Structures are given as C-alpha cells and as structure tokens.
Amino acid sequence: MVDKYTIEFDHVEKSYQNNTVIPDLNLTIPAGERLILLGPSGCGKSTTLRMIAGLEEVTGGELRIGGRRVNEIPSGERNIAMVFQNYALYPHMSVEENIVYALRVHKMNREEMQRRLKTALEILNLKPYVKRKPRELSGGQRQRVALARALVKQSPYLLLDEPLSNLDAQLRGQARKELVKIHELYHQTFIYVTHDQVEAMTVGQRIALINQGDLQMVDTPYRIYNRPANVFTARFIGSPATNILDAQWDGRALYILGQKTSLPDCWSRLIARNGEEAVYLGIRPEHIRLQAGVCENALCGQIRYIEDYGSKRGVYVAVGDTEVVCICDCPPCGAGETVSFYLDSDHIHLFSRSTEKSLGYPEEVSDEQALQPLILERHDSVPA
C-alpha cells in the first residue's frame, strides 16, 4: 500500500544522449522518511534527486508519487522544495526577500507569508541578517537562508543536494544536527544527497548507496555498517576501508590468505550453502586485534607503516602481497616488526568471489551467536 506521498522509482532509467547513467532504479521512499542518497562523485545522486523534482526527464520506466505517474508532470506542479548545492540565492535580494520570493510569486496572502517567514527565521537563527544581501553572509548563513527558503514552502518533500558541502567541518557537524531537528519538527520526506559517509550515517534513517547508477544497498546506517550486502558497501562505509581478503573453502576449513582457520559452524554452513570454493573474507580494521611476534594459530605479517589519528592508530601490515589495515589504541610493536592477527568472528563478512554479494550472516542459519575469536591453525600450503 502506498500513501499519498510515497515516492516510487519503478525500473527508472536515465540516459543523457547515448550515455546511460542510471540503468534500472527500483526504490520506494515512504512519506516522512529521512533518506540519504550516498555514493561516489558522478554515480547519479543529483540526477536521481533532480528526476524527483522534475528538473530532469525520466527516459525509461516510471516514477510515481502517491501512486500516480509523474514522468510528464512539470516541476512546478510537483510541490517539492529543493536546496541546491550552490544554494542558488538571488544576489540582488535581501535574506528576507530571498526566503519569501516563491511565496510571493504564488501570491500567498501577506499574513501567512509573514508567519512562515518569522518561524523560519527563528528556527534557523537568521533574524539578525534579514536585511543583508547574500554576499554579506558567511557560507553557513547562506546555507541557512537556502534552507529557510525551502522550508517556508511547507511542501511534503524537501530535497537537499549536498547542502553542507561548502561548510567547514565544525559548522557541518552543527548543521547536521539542525537538519535532523527540523525533520523531527516537520516530518517532511527528506531526500538528502551526499558523498560523505559520516553525514550519511548521522543524518539518515535509511541510506541508499549507489555506485555507477546501480543501487548497492538500501537500509539503516546500522545494517549498512554491520550487514553490508556486498563488497562495494563493505568497502565504501568506514575509514580506513574494510579489508577484503582472499579465502578458500576446502569443504571443511577456510584458508584465509593461505592460513587454515576453523570457523564456527554457522559461518561454515553459509559457505557450504554458497557452493563456491573461492570467497572473500571482509574484516574491518577496528575488528582485528594485533599481538607482537609470531603466535600459534594466527595469521602474521610485517608492519609497513603506522598512521596516527590522535586517539587511535592505523597499522598497515604486509601479509605476503596483501596489505591488511588494523586500528588499535597502541600498536604492539613498530614498523618492520612482525605481528599476529586475531580476527573477531562476530565481525567477519563473507562474500561470493564471483558476484561479490554477501553470503549472509549467522542469524540466518542458526540461533547460536558466533562470539568466539577465529582459531587460526598454522598451515603452510593453500588447498589446490
């Protein structure tokens, strides 16, 4: 059942001339959701947003709002408010004039217009600046004017295209919180484009991760981080990126970078169910524990270099031709020295080598929790 405000992409395709940038998009955005469109630069986020706003033609499939096809409905009739990346304020108008311009064009009565203006100025702390021109404002203030201009429309949808990208890090953190507060106040559908994973995780109720026009995963920040659907998602979220290691299944044991491991049953069942011998094992840098020297039953390698993040350190370790990165409070030894790894089996991810899709998680095949650390057995040869 879709309600009056649900947005649905139904096999939507978008091409510019002969260049297909979105091949086949299927996505439903329920009313009132705070959805993030996340992905690397050029993956099609703005294009997707602009199709909702009616600023970009849909070249295939159907886009529906409230169950009604809107492919041919012009932008002005969609009742959508949008904040552009460059804010697009009118330079010759004051803050006040910028905010109410669209209302004036729609001949809204004066009292209602003033009421909305007053509320927006209060919420966004813009009262001291009403008479100023955009050039007399800081980046953060301009961003708030652009947001105020979108809010006074009181439309059921607020589309934001990288609205914080021109702000410095401190202001961005503050603006993120303000945006969430505004959403909680008005419950409009927020569709928010960003390439910044931190912004996506902190602002989003759900994140739609896109790569080259293809939707990779749509889910809560928690699941995107903990239950990535594929290798791309596992690597895109988190910094430094998730380690993706070659692994081989011989029907009984898993060999990670050639090192034999005995997996908890639930993981073995997932690999057996997959049926492929070669898989990828994903492990985040924060889920590896290091110990100095060569330890029994552990994967080991040599520290290449150490990065300092202030509170933590990133340790880059060479294991044969593979580089594994780990995050820890304090490295057990220095560059050039040998370390052993302990992978927390509660935090591993397994992916098909051929499709790069997740093989699933223990909760799908068992009730028991896979809490014990992976026992790695010393072994010299990789199975053929």
Site residues, ligand ADP (CB under 6 A): 16, 19, 21, 39, 41-47
Closest by Cα among 163, 152, 160, 356 to 246: 356
Residues 192 and 35 sit within 8 Å (Cβ to Cβ): yes
Pick one of Mg ion, ligand ADP, none as the site partner of residue 42 (Cβ within 5 to 8 A by kind).
Answer: ligand ADP
Give the residue with the Cβ less far from Mg ion, 193 or 245: 193
Contacting residues for 327 by C-beta, under 8 A, at least 6 apart: 240, 285, 286, 288, 309, 312, 313, 314, 315
Tell me the C-alpha distance between 190 and 158, whole Å.
Answer: 5
Nearer to ligand ADP, 51 or 303 (CB): 51
What one-character DSSP code corresponds to residue 87? -
Per CB under 5 A, 46 contacts Mg ion = yes
Contact 300, 341 (CB under 8 A): yes
User: Both tokens of residue 199?
Assistant: 């912004």
Q: Quick one: what does residue 300 bind among ligand ADP, Mg ion, none, with the CB cut-off 5 to 8 Å set by partner type? A: none
Q: In the block, which residue shows the tokens 């340790």?
A: 315
CB of 43 to ligand ADP, least distance (A): 4
Q: Backbone dihedral region of 63: left (phi > 0), alpha (psi from -120 to 50 degrees) or beta?
A: beta
Min dist CB 87 to ligand ADP, Å, is 16
Task: Give the residue with the Cβ less far from ligand ADP, 51 or 327.
Answer: 51
Q: How far apart are CA 217 and CA 221, in angstroms?
A: 11
Residue 41 binds what, of Mg ion, ligand ADP, none (CB under 5 to 8 Å, by partner type)?
ligand ADP
189: partner contacted, choices Mg ion, ligand ADP, none (Cβ within 5-8 A by kind): none
Nearest approach in angstroms of CB 214 to ligand ADP is: 12
* Alpha-helical runs (H) found in the chain: 45-53, 95-105, 110-123, 139-151, 169-186, 197-203, 221-226, 231-236, 265-274, 362-365
Of residues 31, 28, 27, the one with CA closest to residue 3: 31
**In whole angstroms, how close is the CB of 67 to ligand ADP at the nearest point?**
26
Sequence-separated (6 or more) residues with CB below 8 Å from residue 361: 227, 270
Query: Binders of Mg ion: how many residues, by CB under 5 A?
Result: 1
Strand 80-83's sheet: what is its strand order?
A: 80-83, 157-161, 189-194, 34-38, 206-211, 214-219
Cα(134)–Cα(155) distance, rounded to whole angstroms? 24
Q: Which does 188 bind (CB under 5 to 8 A by kind): ligand ADP, Mg ion, none?
A: none
Give me the residue whose beta carbon is nearest to Mg ion. 46
Look at residue 292 and give the partner it binds from Mg ion, ligand ADP, none, a contact being a CB closer than 5 to 8 Å depending on partner kind: none
Structural element, H or E, at residue 218: strand 214-219
Q: Closer CB to ligand ADP, residue 18 or residue 109?
A: 18
- Partner from ligand ADP, Mg ion, none contacting 381, C-beta within 5 to 8 A by type: none
CB of 301 to Mg ion, least distance (A): 39
For 183, left (φ over 0), alpha (ψ -120 to 50), or beta?
A: alpha
* Nearest distance in Å: CB 86, ligand ADP: 13
- Give the binding range for Mg ion (CB under 5 A) out of 45-53, 99-107, 273-281, 341-349: 45-53
Of 103 and 161, CB closest to ligand ADP: 161
CB nearer ligand ADP, residue 42 or residue 67 = 42
Q: Which is nearer to Mg ion, 46 or 352 (CB)?
A: 46
Shortest Å, Cβ 14 to ligand ADP = 8
Q: Which is nearer to ligand ADP, 236 or 255 (CB)?
A: 236
Instruction: Indicate which of ligand ADP, Mg ion, none lies near residue 163 (CB less than 5 to 8 Å, by partner kind).
Output: none
- 44 contacts which partner out of ligand ADP, Mg ion, none, CB within 5 to 8 A by kind? ligand ADP
Nearer to ligand ADP, 26 or 302 (CB): 26
Q: How far is the CB of 55 from ligand ADP (least distance, A)?
A: 10
* Minimum separation from the CB atom of position 46 to Mg ion (A): 3
User: With the C-alpha atoms ordered 121, 127, 130, 132, is the resulting torsion angle positive or negative?
Assistant: negative
What is the contact surface with Mg ion in residues (CB under 5 A)?
A: 46
